[in-house]
Chains A and B, each alone.
Chain A
């Protein structure tokens, strides 16, 4: 699938994308967060004191403000907030990207199959999608979490993905419907190609760009849901995340006493989701020529 044509198109799309102010801003913010996520791997190497989960500064018993040893200060048990923030970036990427990826895979497959086969299967899949689409994912997650206790981060990722595929599948389905009757699909049928071959070889390359567009919006949604869940106290307690940091600052009663603790994770959540949103908007422009500026091919 990754052939020369796709690469050429990708390169051309990238040029339009990076010229777009929205896309450029999104990429810059994203790169900063990526460096943060990468840095999180090296922070614990400085010393056990800087481990975001277990590293406790022996000299500190209460939350302290920014200092040279702790750039953003510490929380109430003496853990380094900057280390936690970096760790949070890593977790946000893992949660956002993997949840979005799973939902895109499910959504694309369901959309292509429903659009291509039509009939009863189509009706069944789309009604299922409708039902899931109207369920409030955060509330479902809260109910499940209170039923089964604390979830591991991967179960949270998986549930977010399961809740978020229907919108993707609808878009992919409509695209498949319009592709289905194109002569090149019929030529393939006349040649004797199987349905699977038509779906994966002819329809999939034509819907993938759209799937990736939707993936960026899913990332935003997944990060927000995970943050909300963690803040409400239903996150994975063994995992530092930005939502978890907010939960700790609230639970320990430092909400209005320690702005150095409250503001950074909040800002990070907003900025990272903004970055993915901007990315999506710029990609939209690449995929929809009507949104492009004059003179861009």
Chain B
């Protein structure tokens, strides 16, 4: 589907990736129902772009995100990060990769450990990656908290997740992802648990972060409007297949695939073709 253009600089390349989930084996079960989450998808993400992955629930978009940060392994196919296949990474190389690709999770109420303070949560990637000394780390944490809009950073430093609102929690989660200054961030529906005004603020924040640090984003969402607002290019995924990839404007104005048209039609707020 995606034509690999050798001139372009791709940070992430997904080649023919299939992911099948096998439900727990049952004794005496004759047939095993397997779930095909991704069916041979190809996708390339350019360095420095915000790439949107749009699809409905169960379309395999979250699975794609999890594969890209190696929370899971593909059943078939390859994922290249900076031209290096990530499935073969081990030990120190894997750890290095972990500092270069981060993830922002969907539910900010679940993605922060209630027993750790904000400082401990945001500092963890630095500690794990052995970046800096204890003093520079805490400076870096405060600075990052302020970057994500939790200022003054010192005021949030010693607080705990239960003392923060949903939007603030998600900002902490973003801070944790950007604190190691990764090249690539997977944002898995970071605003679906938050209300619209907070969501807009977070979109702006993601934009700012992208511009200051020059990161590449994979933005996963079910919301075409959000994708249009934030993304440079959009891929529409349906039942494990990528049905259409194009620039955000073209997808919205000139959808080719019937599923994309349907998706735009059900989107409240704007009609396709306009």
Q: List the interface of chain A (C-beta within 8 A of B).
A: 1, 3-6, 182-184, 186-194, 197, 201-202, 205-206
Residue from A4, A6, A191, A205 in contact with B124 in the complex, judged by beta carbons closer than 8 Å: A191
Residue from B71, B116, B117, B160 in contact with A190 in the complex, judged by beta carbons closer than 8 Å: B71
15 inter-chain pairs at a CB distance below 8 angstroms, sorted by A residue, are: A1-B115, A3-B120, A4-B158, A5-B162, A183-B106, A184-B111, A184-B113, A190-B98, A191-B98, A191-B102, A191-B124, A191-B125, A191-B128, A193-B124, A197-B128
Q: Do the beta carbons of A187 and B98 come within 8 Å of each other?
A: no
Q: Which residue of A lies closest to B113 (CB)?
A: A184
If over half of B's interface residues share one DSSP class (helix, strand or loop), that class is named, otherwise mixed; here it is loop
Give B178-209 interface residues, CB cut-off 8 Å to A.
180
Q: Do the beta carbons of A183 and B105 come within 8 Å of each other?
A: yes
Q: Do the beta carbons of B115 and A192 come within 8 Å of each other?
A: no
User: When A and B form their complex, which 10 residue pairs have the shortest distance between CB atoms, in order from nearest?
Assistant: A192-B98, A183-B111, A191-B125, A205-B115, A183-B105, A184-B113, A5-B160, A183-B110, A192-B95, A193-B128
Q: Do the beta carbons of A191 and B117 come within 8 Å of each other?
A: no
Contacts of B71 in A (CB 8 A): 186, 189-190
Check: B57 CB closer than 8 A to any chain A CB. Answer: no
Residue from B69, B105, B115, B173 in contact with A5 in the complex, judged by beta carbons closer than 8 Å: B115
Q: Which residue of A lies closest to B129 (CB)?
A: A192
Q: A4-B117, A183-B111, A188-B128 are in contact. List 13 more A-B contacts (CB 8 A).
A: A182-B110, A183-B110, A186-B103, A186-B105, A187-B176, A190-B69, A190-B101, A191-B125, A191-B180, A192-B128, A193-B128, A194-B128, A202-B115
Q: Which residue of A lies closest to B70 (CB)?
A: A190
Contacts of B216 in A (CB 8 A): none
| Bound-state Cα–Cα, A1 to B117, Å | 11
Contacts of B116 in A (CB 8 A): 3, 5, 201-202
A187 and B115 in contact, given A4-B158, A192-B129, A197-B128 (Cβ under 8 angstroms): no
A3 and B117 in contact, given A183-B106, A183-B107 (Cβ under 8 angstroms): yes
Binary per-residue interface labels of chain B (3-41) against chain A in the complex, 1 for a CB within 8 Å, 0 otherwise = 000000000000000000000000000000000000000
Q: Give the distance to chain A from B59, nearest Cβ to Cβ, in Å.
A: 20
A187 and B103 in contact, given A5-B114, A182-B110 (Cβ under 8 angstroms): yes
A3 and B115 in contact, given A182-B110, A187-B103, A193-B128 (Cβ under 8 angstroms): yes
Contacts of B160 in A (CB 8 A): 4-5
Residue from B99, B110, B113, B158 in contact with A202 in the complex, judged by beta carbons closer than 8 Å: B113
Q: Do the beta carbons of A192 and B114 come within 8 Å of each other?
A: no
Q: Give the distance to chain A from B130, nearest Cβ to Cβ, in Å.
A: 10
Binary per-residue interface labels of chain B (62-74) against chain A in the complex, 1 for a CB within 8 Å, 0 otherwise = 0000000101000
Q: List the interface of chain B (C-beta within 8 A of A).
A: 69, 71, 94-95, 98-99, 101-103, 105-107, 110-117, 120, 124-125, 128-129, 158, 160, 162, 173, 176, 180
| Bound-state Cα–Cα, A226 to B103, Å | 53
Q: Give the distance to chain B from A292, nearest Cβ to Cβ, in Å.
A: 18
Q: Give the distance to chain B from A8, nearest Cβ to Cβ, in Å.
A: 8
Contacts of A206 in B (CB 8 A): 113-115
| Bound-state Cα–Cα, A182 to B105, Å | 10
| Bound-state Cα–Cα, A183 to B114, Å | 12
Contacts of A189 in B (CB 8 A): 71
Contacts of A192 in B (CB 8 A): 94-95, 98-99, 125, 128-129
Q: Give the distance to chain B from A120, nearest Cβ to Cβ, in Å.
A: 14
Contacts of A193 in B (CB 8 A): 124, 128
Q: Which residue of B lies closest to A3 (CB)?
A: B117
Q: Do the beta carbons of B117 and A5 come within 8 Å of each other?
A: yes
Q: Which residue of B lies closest to A184 (CB)?
A: B113
| Bound-state Cα–Cα, A12 to B110, Å | 22
Contacts of B102 in A (CB 8 A): 190-191
Q: Do the beta carbons of A184 and B128 come within 8 Å of each other?
A: no
Contacts of B98 in A (CB 8 A): 190-192
Contacts of B69 in A (CB 8 A): 190
| Bound-state Cα–Cα, A184 to B177, Å | 12
| Bound-state Cα–Cα, A186 to B98, Å | 12
| Bound-state Cα–Cα, A263 to B60, Å | 70
Q: Which residue of A lies closest to B99 (CB)?
A: A192
| Bound-state Cα–Cα, A193 to B158, Å | 22
Contacts of B113 in A (CB 8 A): 184, 188, 202, 205-206
Contacts of A3 in B (CB 8 A): 115-117, 120
